[in-house]
Amino acid sequence: MLNNNDTQLEATWLQRLQHNDEQALAAIMRKYYTALYNYAARFTNDEALIKDCIQEVFISLWQRRENATSILSPRYYLLRAVKNKVLKSLHQHNIRTGSMESEDAYDFLQEFSVEKLIIDRQMSEEQATILRKTMAQLSKRQHELIYLKFYQHLDHAQIAGLMNLSRQSVYNLLHEAIQKLRNLYQAEIFNQ
């Protein structure tokens, strides 16, 4: 139901890509650049590294263009590829600098923002502070999950694939997070 036309357009891009059309590759990058950049920015602040990783992902998409039409969701494919590439680069960097953290132990930078809510007068500063605290109580995985759900509009199966979780875990973690927010909104201070 969501964005049927977009899906069709993307299917034609992938077909054109398969037939060596560089402009189709450009169109895909144009559409997803901001989304990919923002997702990658959750893992590192290194802008140059992010840009290089996105470049490499698209170069490898080009190199594998023969199979382009087998990609069902470009967004999911690209998010996954960018995440893997960024984490791998960070991991290699860590090895070089002597840090021995495993590839799975990544940070998901918590850039949950309440400023806009205050500016839009959707809530008072007092309410925003409580909201921020509640969000801070959520785990990194829950943050990533909420981000993928609400900002990248992935479905639960895709989120599960991207985060190496089962679909049930995705649902549970998401539900737990929503429940915390819900309790907040049913508490007294949010119902003035």
Partner 1 sequence: MKDFRLYDIADFVIDEDFIRWVHEQREEDNLFWNTWLQQHPDKHLVIATARRIVSSIQFQQTTIAAPEVEQEISRLLHTISTQQTPAAPRTARVIAFKWWYAAAVLLLSLTGGWYFYFRNTSSRPFAYASMVASKQLIEHTNTSDQPLVLALPDGSRLTLASKSRVSYAHTFGSDDTTRYGASRDVYLLGEAFFEVTKNPNRPFRVFANEIVTKVLGTSFTVRSFEKDTTIQVTVRTGKVSVYAQAATPASAKMSEIILTPNQQLLYERAAQKFQKILLNNPAPIVPASITRTMIYDDAPLDKVFSDLSKAYGISIVFDSEVLKKCTVTADLTNESFYQQLNLICSAIDAQYELIDGQVVIEANGCR
Q: Count of residues for the chain? A: 192
On whether the CB atoms of residues 146 and 110 are closer than 8 A, the answer is: no
For the record, the structure tokens of 86 come out as 């960024």
Question: Which residue from 95, 3, 79, 93 is spatially nearest to 35, judged by alpha carbons?
Answer: 79
Q: Given the complex with partner 1, which of 11 and 56 has the nearer CB atom?
A: 56
Q: Given the complex with partner 1, which of 2 and 100 has the nearer CB atom?
A: 2
Number of residues that bind partner 1 (CB under 8 A): 47
For the record, the structure tokens of 178 come out as 């929503």
Among 107, 125, 175, 189, binds partner 1 (CB under 8 A): 175
What count of other Cβ atoms lies within 10 Å of the Cβ of residue 184? 16
Q: Given the complex with partner 1, which of 51 and 93 has the nearer CB atom?
A: 51
Q: Which of residues 73-132 bind partner 1 (CB under 8 A)?
A: 111-114, 116-117, 122-123, 131
What count of other Cβ atoms lies within 10 Å of the Cβ of residue 35? 16
For the residues of 42-66, what is the DSSP string, one character each? TT---HHHHHHHHHHHHHHHHHTGG
b/e per residue 43-53 (b: at least 16 CB within 10 A): bbebeebbeeb
Shortest Å, Cβ 134 to partner 1:
10
Q: Given the complex with partner 1, which of 12 and 55 has the nearer CB atom?
A: 55
What count of other Cβ atoms lies within 10 Å of the Cβ of residue 143? 19
x-or-dash pattern for partner 1, window 21-60, by CB under 8 A?
A: -x--xx--xx--xx--xx--x---------x--xx--xx-
Q: Which of residues 150-169 bind partner 1 (CB under 8 A)?
A: 150-151, 153, 155
Binding site for partner 1 (CB under 8 A): 1-2, 22, 25-26, 29-30, 33-34, 37-38, 41, 51, 54-55, 58-59, 62-66, 111-114, 116-117, 122-123, 131, 146-147, 149-151, 153, 155, 174-175, 178-179, 181-182, 185-186, 190
